[in-house]
Structure formats: structure tokens, C-alpha cells
Amino acid sequence: MFGLFLSMFTFSLSMSISPGPVNLTILGSAMNYGARKTFAFIFGATIGFTLLLAAVCFGLYQIILLYIGLLDIITILGTLLLVWIGFNILRSAGQKISISEIDQTKIPTFLQGFLMQWLNPKAWIAAVAGTALFSITQNALHLIFFVMIYFVVCFISLLIWGIAGEKLAKLLNTPQRAKVFNIVMGVVLIAISLEMCWHHFA
């Protein structure tokens, strides 16, 4: 039993801590507004993914097995969306980072974090792959534990990205450095999106 829980933890950590669209959004928001003001988005993304995982574990997975093309469509549309976002980040002008009260309306919200997970191919792939991996035992209790473990690991991982973003703000607080960061983040997001799509269809 311990080995099963350890596998669940390792899978959850590898999928949650690795760069993805939600992680990069948290990083950028925390850089500009601080980790505390990004907390609502972090919590929303955690709840959003946890509910997505629970839905896949206890029903949606069977539908996806029946209509396998559904996941293909989600992956393609999600990848196109993320590549488009990546190009926008890539082309955006560098500006001095400012953690202030003026930009309250631009701070990502709980609802945005929640919805972003349901539109995120990485989240769908993680939910489907995890369900396929840990439903072999045919034990519903194991899947409940998997969802609970993923909730904790996901929240801590996203929080780490938020803290990292706040720390990076001090290093990148010039227009030139911010521009370089935008280019790197844009390229990384595009590369990650294409890699996820490639692995899905490979």
C-alpha cells in the first residue's frame, strides 16, 4: 500500500511541478503583483484541477474511452491556444516590474485559475494518464486517495512557483531583463505545448 501511495505522490509531483501554462501564469503574476495577491489564482487552479481529476476518475474516463477522439480534439485545440499565448508573450515588450495596488484588475482571479485548468491540455493529459495508471486496482478508495494526494501536491507545487516568481521580480526589474524573460517564457510555453501534443499522438 505504501508503494502505491508513493507512486501516486511521485506522479502528482512530476506533473504539478513541471512547467506548464498554469505554472507560467503564476510565475508572471507573482513577479508583477507578489505571491500573496496571486494566491486566489493558485487556489482556483488547485480546486479546478482537483475537480477535473475527480470527474475523470469517476465517470469522464469511461466516456473518453468510448469517444477516444474527444481527448485528441481537446489536445489539439488546447495546444493551438497555448502556442498563441506563447507567441503573445514572446512578442510582448519588456517593462519594469511593479508590485502595486494600481493594477488590481489585472491580477489573475480564482475563477480564471479554475477555468484555465479545464482548458489546459496538460491538466487533461495528467488526469487521464493518472486515472488509467491507478484505476488498474479497480478500487474506488485508491482513486479517492489519489485525488486527495494530488490536491495537496498540486497546491504546494503551484505555491512554490508563486514564491519563485516573487523572488525573480527583484532580479528582472529592468525593461531589458523583462524582455529577455518574456522571450524565454514564450519559447518555453510553445515548446512545452508542442511537446505535449507530440507525446499524445506519438
pTM for the model: 0.78
pLDDT at 148: 95
**pLDDT of the residue at 141:** 87
Q: In the structure grid, which three cell numbers stand for residue 124, read together?
A: 487533461
In a domain, 8, yes or no: no
Residue 55 belongs to a domain:
yes
| In a domain? residue 166 | yes
**Residue 19: strand, helix, or coil:** coil
Q: Would you say 83 and 197 are in contact if contact means Cβ atoms under 8 Å apart? A: no
Q: Tell me, what amino acid is at 90?
A: L
Mean pLDDT of 49-61: 88
Confidence of residue 98 (pLDDT cuts 50, 70, 90): low
Q: What is the pLDDT of residue 102?
A: 46
| Residues 6 or more apart in contact with residue 160 via CB below 8 angstroms | 17
pLDDT bin (cut points 50, 70, 90) of residue 30 is confident
Output 96 or 1, whichever has higher pLDDT.
1
Tell me the average pLDDT of the chain.
81
**DSSP letter assigned to residue 35:** T
CA–CA distance, 44 with 29 (Å, rounded to integer): 14
Band of residue 2 on the pLDDT scale cut at 50, 70, 90: confident
Read off the pLDDT of residues 31-52 as tens digits, 9 standing for 90 and up. Answer: 878 888 899 999 999 999 999 9
Model pLDDT, residue 50: 95
Nearest CA to 125 out of 58, 56, 189 is that of 56
Query: How far, in Å, CA of 165 to CA of 31, rounded?
Result: 5
Q: Does the residue 3 lie in any domain?
A: no
130-156 pLDDT, tens digit per residue, is 888 887 666 788 889 999 999 999 999
Q: What is the per-residue pLDDT across 149-185, written as a single tens digit (0 to 9) for each?
A: 999 999 999 999 999 988 887 777 667 776 777 788 7
Domain assignment of residue 57, given as a range: 19-201
What per-residue confidence (pLDDT) applies to 157? 95
Residue 89 burial (CB count, 10 A) = 20
Label residue 13 exposed, middle or buried (CB < 10 Å: 0-12, 13-18, 19+).
middle
Could you tell me how many residues make up the chain? 202
Contact (Cβ atoms closer than 8 angstroms) between residue 168 and residue 91: no
**pLDDT over 70, % of the chain:** 87
pLDDT of 93 reads: 55
Residue 25: the pLDDT is 84
Count of domains observed in the chain: 1
CA distance 154 to 163: 14
Reading the block at residue 185, the C-alpha cell is 517564457
Residue 81 domain-assigned? yes
When computed from its CA atoms, the radius of gyration of the chain, rounded to whole angstroms, is 17
